[in-house]
Structure 1
Amino acid sequence: YNTPSASYLEVTPDSENDFGNYNCTAVNRIGQESLEFILVQADTPSSPSIDQVEPYSSTAQVQFDEPEATGGVPILKYKAEWRAVGEEVWHSKWYDAKEASMEGIVTIVGLKPETTYAVRLAALNGKGLGEISAASEFKTQPVHSPPPPASASSSTPVPLSPPDTTWPLPALATTEPAREPSAPKLEGQMGEDGNSIKVNLIKQDDGGSPIRHYLVRYRALSSEWKPEIRLPSGSDHVMLKSLDWNAEYEVYVVAENQQGKSKAAHFVFRTLAQPTAIPATLGGNSASYTFVSLLFSAVTLLLLC
């Protein structure tokens, strides 16, 4: 079937014989072009691998690597399962693949302080839930209580001052603790070639701690992520070049400081349709024929003279 921007060939396999090599040929009055592709049966993804776990008193951030094999179709969601050591029942939560894959982190909540847990991950695609990863153990941190105020009985008595004596009040610290930065604001400017873009990074609140770098990931929708780009903290833009023609892309940018990563800023754009090349053979031949005709006429005129 056709759309204003592309033509599609939809294949619905009925048996194993429908999988294999297909050849698609496009023909017009100038010539033809062929492309061969392979139709394979989709499979469930392999398991993600857990790199490390950053535990807190009631939450934990699980950093992971994406599955080595997606099964031939995009990953849709990730499933985290966790339980305290000694328990039989696993608790679970689903995470959107776009957000989880962008940062490579999922956060589990509702944990008890000073408790040892096991956590494992699995990926879900259109075929189904893939293999579960090996469990990784961690121990949550204790709850840090603020120091108790000094009791009146243990304080040193202060004599009453004369009326003409003043006591300076101590200065109170008002500095807020540093935190993760805010996500940058993104603005795009398409290149003149039609398949490149300049994405401007507009810095927002740094959370009270200098930004160390920006992490950029992008891909065409329904395609694999391109390798992550790490930009210095002073960068104000990133150039994405040699993009697919007439394709919708998404870009995620994360700012990171000493305290951690910001939420991901999201930006979507579409590249232009590939320009149609104008054949030069007809015009070139016409010019050549005209030149030869004029030259032959000149030679004939000389012979007649």
Structure 2
Amino acid sequence: YNTPSASYLEVTPDSENDFGNYNCTAVNRIGQESLEFILVQADTPSSPSIDQVEPYSSTAQVQFDEPEATGGVPILKYKAEWRAVGEEVWHSKWYDAKEASMEGIVTIVGLKPETTYAVRLAALNGKGLGEISAASEFKTQPVHSPPPPASASSSTPVPLSPPDTTWPLPALATTEPAREPSAPKLEGQMGEDGNSIKVNLIKQDDGGSPIRHYLVRYRALSSEWKPEIRLPSGSDHVMLKSLDWNAEYEVYVVAENQQGKSKAAHFVFRTSAQPTAIPATLGGNSASYTFVSLLFSAVTLLLLC
């Protein structure tokens, strides 16, 4: 069936023979283009397993392992559910599978200090939402308050005010509680060699707590992730060298402070095609021969005319 924006082929399998390769071809007066896709029998994924929970005062980082069975199709999203012990209603949040699987961590926010919570996870693929994991309990940390101001020395005389004098109360300084930092902004500058890049890290809001370090992951698309790079908090760039030629890469950078990790900043770039080395002598002779051939052809044409 057709819509104003696209055409659809809907397949309702009746037997095993309906699964397999399908080829779609678009044709117009100029030419045609084909694309093959595979119809597979899918199931919902099994549950992820929670390895550990690292709690802070208002957030918690949940480290998990991916489901043993994906159901035959890729995982699209993860769903985290949590609630304080004694509550009946679960709070929930969805996380992009690509970003969550890169670190194997999801971060839940909006928690109360010194409170015991239970958290559980489930995975979603194209078939639907899979099994939910067993709940894991953790307790958030207390809020670390700044030390009280030093008291006045007992030897310092304090003048007494007359009872009819009204003194204005000092304004109380209000500070927002610390939170996770914002993701850094990324800018890339390709190297002259064509297969290296300098990725600049532009610091954003630190969330009220100093940045501890940056975590960098990168890979060529459809390839394995390279080992994680940990950069000091004062870093303003990372150099990626000896990359594959003519390949598209993706880079993720996360900032971390005492309260937790930021969302991952994402950057995509493509390296240059590998240059072809041509010996200078051959190039010079070839150019000379070409010039002589053209000159001879011109003379021949003149004589014929």
Paired with 2:46 and 2:75, the residues of 1 have a C-alpha distance of: 10
User: Percent identity over the alignment?
Assistant: 100
Paired with 1:275 and 1:23, the residues of 2 have a C-alpha distance of: 36
Q: What TM-score, normalized by structure 1, do the two folds share? A: 0.57
Mean CA deviation greater in 174-183 or 139-148:
139-148
What is the CA-CA distance between 1:40 and the residue it aligns to? 13
CA shift in 2, pair 1:97/1:115, >3 Å: same
What is the CA-CA distance between 1:167 and the residue it aligns to? 3.2
CA shift in 2, pair 1:176/1:132, >3 Å: closer
Mean CA deviation greater in 192-201 or 162-171:
162-171
What is the CA-CA distance between 1:219 and the residue it aligns to? 2.1
CA shift in 2, pair 1:74/1:155, >3 Å: farther
Mean CA deviation greater in 259-268 or 18-27:
18-27
Mean CA deviation greater in 148-157 or 64-73:
148-157
Mean CA deviation greater in 26-35 or 237-246:
26-35
What is the CA-CA distance between 1:34 and the residue it aligns to? 26
Preserved contact between residue 74 and residue 222 of structure 1 (Cα < 8 Å): no
Paired with 2:229 and 2:7, the residues of 1 have a C-alpha distance of: 33
> What is the DSSP-based 3-state SS (H/G/I as helix, E as strand, rest coil) of the residue aligned with 1:21?
strand
Mean CA deviation greater in 294-303 or 213-222:
294-303
Paired with 2:149 and 2:294, the residues of 1 have a C-alpha distance of: 107
Gaps of 5+ in 1: none
Mean CA deviation greater in 17-26 or 77-86:
17-26
CA shift in 2, pair 1:188/1:303, >3 Å: closer
Mean CA deviation greater in 78-87 or 285-294:
285-294
What is the CA-CA distance between 1:238 and the residue it aligns to? 0.7
Paired with 1:209 and 1:3, the residues of 2 have a C-alpha distance of: 51
Per-residue displacement from partner, 1:234-284 (whole Å, max 9, x unpaired)?
111111122222222221111111222222222111112222354899899
Preserved contact between residue 26 and residue 33 of structure 1 (Cα < 8 Å): yes
Paired with 2:139 and 2:31, the residues of 1 have a C-alpha distance of: 67
CA shift in 2, pair 1:219/1:296, >3 Å: closer
Instruction: Give the number of equivalent residue pairs.
Output: 305
CA shift in 2, pair 1:216/1:272, >3 Å: same
CA shift in 2, pair 1:30/1:300, >3 Å: farther
Q: What TM-score, normalized by structure 2, do the two folds share? A: 0.57
CA shift in 2, pair 1:151/1:96, >3 Å: same
> What is the DSSP-based 3-state SS (H/G/I as helix, E as strand, rest coil) of the residue aligned with 2:132?
coil
Mean CA deviation greater in 73-82 or 63-72:
63-72
What is the CA-CA distance between 1:10 and the residue it aligns to? 21
What is the CA-CA distance between 1:225 and the residue it aligns to? 2.6
What is the CA-CA distance between 1:158 and the residue it aligns to? 16
Counterpart of 2:187? 187
Cα RMSD of the aligned pairs, angstroms, is 9.0
Preserved contact between residue 218 and residue 250 of structure 1 (Cα < 8 Å): yes
Mean CA deviation greater in 59-68 or 278-287:
278-287
Counterpart of 2:58? 58
CA shift in 2, pair 1:226/1:14, >3 Å: farther
Per-residue displacement from partner, 1:99-138 (whole Å, max 9, x unpaired)?
3234543345799999876544344567887776554234
CA shift in 2, pair 1:155/1:35, >3 Å: same
CA shift in 2, pair 1:176/1:17, >3 Å: closer
Paired with 1:4 and 1:189, the residues of 2 have a C-alpha distance of: 41
Counterpart of 2:207? 207
Paired with 2:126 and 2:221, the residues of 1 have a C-alpha distance of: 15
Paired with 2:36 and 2:139, the residues of 1 have a C-alpha distance of: 52
Preserved contact between residue 57 and residue 259 of structure 2 (Cα < 8 Å): no
Preserved contact between residue 59 and residue 259 of structure 2 (Cα < 8 Å): no
Paired with 1:28 and 1:168, the residues of 2 have a C-alpha distance of: 82
Preserved contact between residue 49 and residue 66 of structure 1 (Cα < 8 Å): yes
Per-residue displacement from partner, 1:174-222 (whole Å, max 9, x unpaired)?
4444332222221101112222211011222323322110011122233
Preserved contact between residue 56 and residue 140 of structure 1 (Cα < 8 Å): yes
CA shift in 2, pair 1:107/1:297, >3 Å: closer
Preserved contact between residue 62 and residue 106 of structure 2 (Cα < 8 Å): yes
CA shift in 2, pair 1:301/1:24, >3 Å: same
Preserved contact between residue 195 and residue 243 of structure 1 (Cα < 8 Å): yes
